[in-house]
Amino acid sequence: MLVEMKQIVKDFGPVRAVDHVNLTVHGGEILGLLGENGAGKSTLMNVLAGTFPPTSGDILLDGEKVVFHNAMQAMRRGIRFIHQELNLCNDLTVFENLYLAQEIRGPGPLLNKKEMARRSAEIFRRMNVDIDPWALVEDLPIAAKQLVEIARSLLFKCDLIIMDEPTTALSNREIENLFTIMRQLKEEGIGFIYISHKMPEIFTICDTYTVLRDGCFVDSGRIADIDEKRVTEMMIGRQLADSAFDNKPCYATEETVLGAENLTGETFRDISFALRKGEILAFTGLQSSGRDELADALFGVAPCKGTLTLHGAPLTGSVRRRMKRRFGMVPRNRKERGIHNDLSILDNASMGYYNALMTRPLISMKEELARYAREKQALSIKADTPANPITSLSGGNQQKVILARWLEAGADVLLFDNPTQGIDVGTKFEIYHLLIELARQGKSILIFSSEFPEIMKVADRCIILYMGQINRIMERSEMNEEDMMYYSTGANLERGTAQTDTAERMVP
């Protein structure tokens, strides 16, 4: 089946998420859909899969114009969307999941389990995989769950399968297995749209590509005609430099403040680095790079082996003990891991101080208010009364309150985990200036971020993680987005021996 999307536009209120994009996939072809986060890939795919209609533009199947009002209509026409997060019910069996909402019944209202299981087994045979239809989904390894999702799309007539980052949770060996199945299905004439941030995969499995940037169509063509550098360039465009931070001075001294040796946790291994006083050291990497877990491990909320030292003495124990050693962390995901919804702005701002520094038995309201007033001014927090709930503030101001919490905890080594997530550009820049100012005052800073432009603005050094290991360390003078993307997608390790080596080690 030939699928064409022509001049697709999708607006969300005043925001144009997809702007006149064209896309074509033939049967028996695997198209790689490329672009940075927020480039509009998922929106475009949701339009194709009928999740929501386009604002304008046409979808043609074999030249016939179609309009999908919901996902079910798209499914009936043979378009299947496998979402990034697995949509399986863990407590049901494999075949129950496959037939969820489309159960085979009879006699009467009773389920015909035997028939469903038999047909499921048939699908698995066709895919050449060994999964027991009667097994509980919960008991399956994650790769098998992914395969169940794929099997679900094959149960009924299916011509196009859209896969949104299907391999983030898979080891390389499992990825190979997935690719084998994809090639097999391709032989049967099924088309694929494949979304992934991992360059080696794109170049292994895809036949053609389409690149999006900021909701716009950039380019498309045959994968064989381009290389990874070129793709990266197309994805990030050329409107980069931000002169305000071009001549950022480096305040790093020779003294090592935080030392890590061979840190190994669940999703990362053999991480060693030394943070110097006054330095801003960045960590970056894709979702699967172990970045989040590493940040948690440094702060003592995720398990890890290896040695961690602060000012030469081992850093161990609970979060509170780390705080008392003047080590602080601004956590990622403000909503889930930062703010206390029910508490006032003041209590939110003071929580760090209570735990790290307060020695007297009773809290002094006067002191708290004075402290808050100081931070409010320093960070220019826009809020009327400190007794208001924190939810009355905008995202950027909430984040500033969280920053205030950690500045008031008196930390001199600070870990910022995705500090500018979901806040507006203006506030982002304020936070960048704050980071640099803190470094000037002699504080040492670790910043974990997925945004390369951000790292290029503030960091003195950047450690790029790939599949849980340090892939590359860049000095400020060497930093550029192309290379950062190149190394964080593991493109330098390509399909050679290096990668299978990693694969072996990543299998739990």
Q: Is 425 helix (H, G, I), strand (E, B) or coil?
A: helix
Establish if 337 lies at the interface with other proteins (CB under 8 A): yes
Establish if 13 lies at the interface with other proteins (CB under 8 A): no
Strand pairing category for 444-448 and 413-417: parallel
Smallest gap, in angstroms, from Cβ of residue 430 to other proteins? Answer: 16
End-to-end CA distance of the chain: 39
Establish if 500 lies at the interface with other proteins (CB under 8 A): no
Q: b/e per residue, 403-435, with b = 16+ CB within 10 A?
A: bbbbbbbebbbbbbbbbbbebeeebbebbbebb
Q: Among residues 49 and 294, whose Cβ is nearest to other proteins?
A: 294
Contact residue for other proteins among 290, 338, 386, 468 (CB under 8 A): 338
* Size (the chain), residues: 508
Smallest gap, in angstroms, from Cβ of residue 363 to other proteins? Answer: 5
Contact residue for other proteins among 188, 270, 342, 478 (CB under 8 A): 342
Establish if 483 lies at the interface with other proteins (CB under 8 A): no
- Rule CB under 8 A: which of 344-373 touch other proteins? 347, 350-352, 354-356, 358, 361-363, 365
Establish if 340 lies at the interface with other proteins (CB under 8 A): yes
Sign of the dihedral defined by the CA atoms of residues 188, 193, 194, 199, in that order: positive
Contact residue for other proteins among 301, 302, 369, 378 (CB under 8 A): 301
Establish if 341 lies at the interface with other proteins (CB under 8 A): yes
Contact residue for other proteins among 38, 388, 473, 504 (CB under 8 A): 388
Smallest gap, in angstroms, from Cβ of residue 265 to other proteins? Answer: 17
Smallest gap, in angstroms, from Cβ of residue 301 to other proteins? Answer: 6
Return the range that interacts with other proteins (CB under 8 A); candidates 72-80, 113-121, 185-193, 337-345: 337-345
Q: Rounded CA gap, 29 and 182, in Å?
A: 10
Q: Number of H helices and number of E strands within the chain?
A: 17, 20
Contact residue for other proteins among 71, 104, 274, 319 (CB under 8 A): 319
Return the range that interacts with other proteins (CB under 8 A); candidates 7-15, 328-336, 456-464, 473-481: 328-336
Look at residues 146, 150, 161 and name the one whose alpha carbon lies nearest to residue 191.
161
Q: In what order do the strands lie in the sheet with 271-276?
A: 271-276, 256-264, 305-310, 313-314
Contact residue for other proteins among 74, 117, 339, 381 (CB under 8 A): 339
Q: Among residues 237 and 317, whose Cβ is nearest to other proteins?
A: 317
Return the range that interacts with other proteins (CB under 8 A); candidates 66-74, 148-156, 316-324, 372-380: 316-324
User: What track of x and - describes contact with other proteins for positions 261 through 300 (by CB under 8 A)?
Assistant: --------------------------------------x-
Smallest gap, in angstroms, from Cβ of residue 38 to other proteins? Answer: 19
Smallest gap, in angstroms, from Cβ of residue 396 to other proteins? Answer: 9
Smallest gap, in angstroms, from Cβ of residue 117 to other proteins? Answer: 35
Look at residues 225, 187, 201, 220 and name the one whose alpha carbon lies nearest to residue 29.
187
CA dihedral 474, 475, 476, 478 (to 10 degrees): -60
Establish if 393 lies at the interface with other proteins (CB under 8 A): yes
Return the range that interacts with other proteins (CB under 8 A); candidates 12-20, 169-177, 270-278, 386-394: 386-394
Q: Rounded CA gap, 291 and 466, in Å?
A: 9
Look at residues 430, 459, 465 and name the one whose alpha carbon lies nearest to residue 445.
459
Look at residues 44, 56, 134, 138 and name the one whose alpha carbon lies nearest to residue 89.
138
Contact residue for other proteins among 271, 323, 438, 493 (CB under 8 A): 323
DSSP secondary structure letter of residue 282? E
Contact residue for other proteins among 63, 384, 497, 508 (CB under 8 A): 384
Distances (CA, A) of 232 to 213, 475, 484: 11, 20, 10
Q: Rounded CA gap, 268 and 264, in Å?
A: 6
Return the range that interacts with other proteins (CB under 8 A); candidates 45-53, 79-87, 173-181, 393-401: 393-401
Look at residues 473, 466, 338 and name the one whose alpha carbon lies nearest to residue 402.
338
Q: Among residues 70 and 392, whose Cβ is nearest to other proteins?
A: 392
Establish if 394 lies at the interface with other proteins (CB under 8 A): yes
Cβ atoms of 445 and 416 within 8 Å: the answer is yes
Query: How big is the site for other proteins, counted in residues (CB under 8 A)?
Result: 39
Contact residue for other proteins among 385, 441, 477, 497 (CB under 8 A): 385
Vertex 241: Cα angle to 420 and 434 (nearest 5)? 35
Q: Rounded CA gap, 69 and 358, in Å?
A: 58
> What's CA 47's distance to the chain center, in Å?
22
Return the range that interacts with other proteins (CB under 8 A); candidates 97-105, 306-314, 323-331, 453-461: 323-331
Smallest gap, in angstroms, from Cβ of residue 410 to other proteins? Answer: 12
Q: Among residues 271 and 393, whose Cβ is nearest to other proteins?
A: 393
Q: Rounded CA gap, 283 and 306, in Å?
A: 18
Cβ atoms of 269 and 469 within 8 Å: the answer is yes
Q: Rounded CA gap, 375 and 367, in Å?
A: 13
Smallest gap, in angstroms, from Cβ of residue 298 to other proteins? Answer: 12
Establish if 50 lies at the interface with other proteins (CB under 8 A): no
Residue numbers at the binding site for other proteins (CB under 8 A): 299, 301, 318-320, 322-323, 329, 331, 336-343, 347, 350-352, 354-356, 358, 361-363, 365, 384-385, 388-389, 391-395, 405
